[in-house]
Amino acid sequence: MGTKKLAEGWKEVELGNDDYFTLLSSGINKFQGKKDYLSTESIQGTRIIKIEDIISYGERPSRANMQPVLNSIWFAKMQSTLKVYSFNEINKNEIEKYILSTGFAGIKVNEKLVDTEYLRLLFTSEEFNKLKDKLCTGSTQRGINNQFIKKISLIIPPIQIQKKIVAILEKAEKAKEWRKEADDLTKDFLKSIFKEMFGQGKYATIRINEVVTKIKTENPVKDYPNQFFDYVDISSIDNKQGKIIETRKVLGKDAPSRAKQKVNFNDLIISTVRPNLNSVALVPKILDQQICSTGFCVLRADKNKVVPEYLYQIARSSRFIESMVKIAKGASYPAVSDRNIKNYEIILPPIELQNKFTLIVKEVEVMNKYQNKSKQELDNFFNILMQKAFKGELV
């Protein structure tokens, strides 16, 4: 991973070096009862976020075939994927709890020469993941194979220096975790505010269809052939921000065949096709006209009954999205209809309270911008520390 002349005692070692590492092969020990199966979807970053399945030895997915062992570190083989997990003395009780997917590569270290957490941090480094991605092969789902894994070279300092590096980097990593916890608290704050203001049967429920106005059917391709439009499709929306981040300028007569819905400022657009049912945005106020794909349901709020931003928050809620996922139909491209969305029941508090909630949301959004900036700065700082650490410039 480096070409710089190494300090005394530091070595460049390939993962195929048996004195330092063992690349674990597939196959698990026979067990009684049940165990938790971790697929690559179960890990996000360096954390377990969900259990894919609860399995028995005799009845388990074919990919549930990797056995965790003490002092082993696992990373996802897929390209452009950072998923890393380790088993050491601190969490060794988890070894008997989990079975891993063959989508992971497992490396057992010689603990006399390599610190488990040092290797885990190495596997999360930008430099390692760039190298891993370059070595990935495959036509559909690209990933790295064992042959190429063994050829990856790592910088390994003496064990005591590894431990010092770990101590420094873990403090920076902790700061990143605190930042994430703060972000999660912000999300929970909005949920609790909504529940406090509108929950527990305080207000009547009503179908979305009863608080939106009918939109006149227009076909920009035929009706406005010589007019320019900003075209919005699924790729136009940033799901995390819930905003339209880019559009494509098209002439009416040259617009895509699905570009058949003219939309106005503050119209709510909701994707109707899985897996993009969380693609939701309010149309921003810009000078040019906009058209969107027929893959969106367009809702125009009756402002005497509902505030557009309030309706937007409903559509962004996990409850709404999960409801749509459950009723989506279709084999290749499961989808919901406009009618499904418009028949969804929402709580309808007075306009004054809707406006109050909307103001709170906007204040939280401002706070989120500062949090995102702080997160980016922490990430950059952590990456710089990682680079210095593995080049021998930190200790």
Q: Is residue 84 part of a domain?
A: yes
Peptide bond into 61 cis (omega under 30): no
Domain interval for residue 34: 11-156
For the record, the structure tokens of 86 come out as 């380790």
- Residue 143 to residue 81: CA distance in whole angstroms: 9
- The whole-number pLDDT of residue 6 equals 74
218/323 same-domain check: yes
Which of 327, 348, 369 is a domain's end point?
A: 348
Predicted pLDDT of residue 194: 80
Does 127 lie in the same domain as 213?
no
216 shares its domain with 95: no
Q: Is residue 45 part of a domain?
A: yes
* Whole-model pTM over 0.75: no
DSSP H helical ranges for 328-350: 338-342
Tell me the C-alpha distance between 74 and 95, whole Å.
12
Task: Indicate whether 230 and 319 sit together in one domain.
Answer: yes
Mutual angle of helices 116-124 and 351-390, in 10-degree steps: 120
> CB of 105 within 8 A of CB of 77?
yes
Residues 210 and 152 in one domain: no
Q: Among 144, 127, 206, 199, which Cα is nearest to 384's?
A: 127
Domain-located, residue 381: no
Per residue in 213-264, pLDDT (tens digit) is 988 777 777 888 888 888 888 888 888 778 888 888 888 888 888 887 888 8
Contact 211, 311 (CB under 8 A): yes
Cα 295 from Cα 338, distance rounded (Å): 10
Domain endpoint, select from 156, 189, 219: 156
Q: Determine contact, residues 295/269, Cβ cutoff 8 Å.
A: no
Retrieve residue 167's tokens.
Answer: 């101590």
CATH code for the domain of 310: 3.90.220.20
Are 135 and 258 in the same domain? no
Same domain for 315 and 231: yes
Closest CA to 1 of 229, 156, 182: 156
Q: pLDDT tens digits, residue range 303-362?
A: 899 999 999 988 988 889 999 989 988 877 788 999 999 999 999 999 999 999 888 888
Give residue 389's pLDDT.
65
Residue 102 pLDDT more than 90? yes
Q: For the segment 108-139, what is each residue's pLDDT rounded down to a tens digit? A: 999 999 999 999 999 998 889 999 999 999 98
145 plus 52 within the same structural domain? yes
Beta bridge partners of 297: 270
d(CA 161, CA 260): 63
Q: Domain for residue 325, yes or no?
A: yes
**DSSP calls for 246-313:** --EEEEGGGS-TTEEEEE-TT-EEEE-BTT-TT-EEEPP--SS-EEEETTEEEEEE-TTT--HHHHHH
User: How confident is the model at residue 54, as a pLDDT?
Assistant: 96
133 inside domain: yes
Residues 134 and 243 in one domain: no
Q: Please provide the DSSP assignment of 165-199 as one string.
A: HHHHHHHHHHHHHHHHHHHHHHHHHHHHHHHHHHT
From 156, 186, 219, the end of a domain falls on 156
Asked if 146 and 273 sit in the same domain, the reply is no
Cα-Cα-Cα-Cα dihedral of 369, 370, 373, 375, to 10°?
A: -110
Q: Are residues 149 and 215 in the same domain?
A: no
Over the stretch 275-305, which tens digit does the pLDDT of each residue have? 787 889 998 887 557 888 888 999 999 989 9
Residues 142 and 234 in one domain: no
Domains contained in the chain, number:
2
Kindly state whether residue 191 falls inside one of the protein's structural domains. no
The CA distances from residue 366 to 35, 61, 69, 181, in Å, are: 44, 45, 46, 18
Residue 73 lies in a domain: yes
Contacts of residue 326, defined as CB under 8 A and 6 or more positions apart, other chains included, come to none
Residue 331 lies in a domain: yes
Residue 27 has pLDDT above 90, yes or no: yes
